[in-house]
Each structure stands twice: as C-alpha cells, then as structure tokens.
Amino acid sequence: MKTQIIISLVAVMAILSSCKKTNPGSPSAGNYFINASENNIAWSSSGNQTDAYHQGPDTVAITGFGNMGKEFLNLRLKFQGIGHYSLTGDQGSLTIMDGEAIMTAKYRLGTDSGNTVDITSYDQMGKIIEGTFDLKLINYLSTNPADPQNVNFTGKFRVLLEPGLILNNGN
C-alpha cells in the first residue's frame, strides 16, 4: 500500500512538473520570421523553420527554411549586439534542396559587393534579435543549368536566440 502511494505521488509530481505554464505576453514561434526578396520574388521562413543559435563563443547563426522548405538560408556573424556587420567568405549561404537529402544548388557570398546584416534590436533578457540583411550570392554548385548565377537576397528578420553548445578551443 505504501509503495502504491509513493508511486502515485511520484507520478503526480512528474505530471505537474512537466506541465508548462504559458505567459500570455511571452513570445511564440509564430512571432519569429525571416521575410525577404530573392531576385524580386517573395521568400519567407517563420515559426519553427526560423532559428538563431550560438556557434562558438562569439558567433551567432541565423537560419531559415523558405520556399516551402526547399531553400535553406544561413547567416553567421561575430555577434556583438546592435550594429552593422559586413559578411565575407562563408558567413552567408543559400542551399536549394530537392527533397530532404538532395542538394541541387549552393550559393555563397559574392566577393565584389557588400553583404551586410544590420542588427536593429537585441533584447538580452528575451533573447530576441531583429534586423535586416542584404546579400549578393553567387552560384558555385548546381545540378540544374536553369538556376540563376546570381541571387540578390534582401530582407528582415526577428529570431529567438536559442541556447546552444559553445565550444572553446575545440573542446
């Protein structure tokens, strides 16, 4: 009898501790987005298809899946809060997929034009980052000759900075 009572109490405590209280003022996944123009065509990612997370001690990645989950945008910056960031090298890319596992094209930042991210708002307590971006991408890998050689990608975003694994010196 004692064992049944203890098991019942443990089960009730487990159920109560797993219940999530919601705050009507707290942000929801629907509040996060990347809205953009890709070569003058609307592109968007929202909810759980939009993310921001740490990649090391000072790098933040902002990612989104758009065009019905077929395109993956990735921006990486040495995050220092509100400000203007110039991106170079592998700090920005666009990957086009056919299904979940087949990449049909990969675009990277062009070297001859400005690629920028402007962080216009950063709520440290709520971990919400807002800003704009302007990217000039070039096609460097494609299986479809009809893919454009250049992509102009401009837009705005509001993302939640998720806690992430921070690696120091490869440890």
CA 66 – CA 125 distance, rounded (Å): 28
Which residue range forms the structural domain that includes residue 94?
A: 31-162
Q: Which residues pair with 76 in a beta bridge?
A: 61
The count of structural domains within the chain is: 1
Average pLDDT for 125-149: 90
Domain membership of residue 20 (yes or no) is no
Buried (b) or exposed (e) across 92-115, using 16+ Cβ within 10 A?
Answer: bbbbbbeeeeeeebbbbbbeeeeb
Closest CA to 119 of 90, 153, 161: 161
167 assigned to some structural domain: no
Domain-located, residue 145: yes
Q: Is residue 26 part of a domain?
A: no
Q: How far is CA 65 from the centre of its chain?
A: 8
| pLDDT value, residue 28 | 52
Mean model confidence pLDDT for the chain = 80
Is residue 57 a part of any domain in this protein? Answer: yes
**Do the domain assignments include residue 79?**
yes
The reported pTM is 0.76
In a domain, 14, yes or no: no
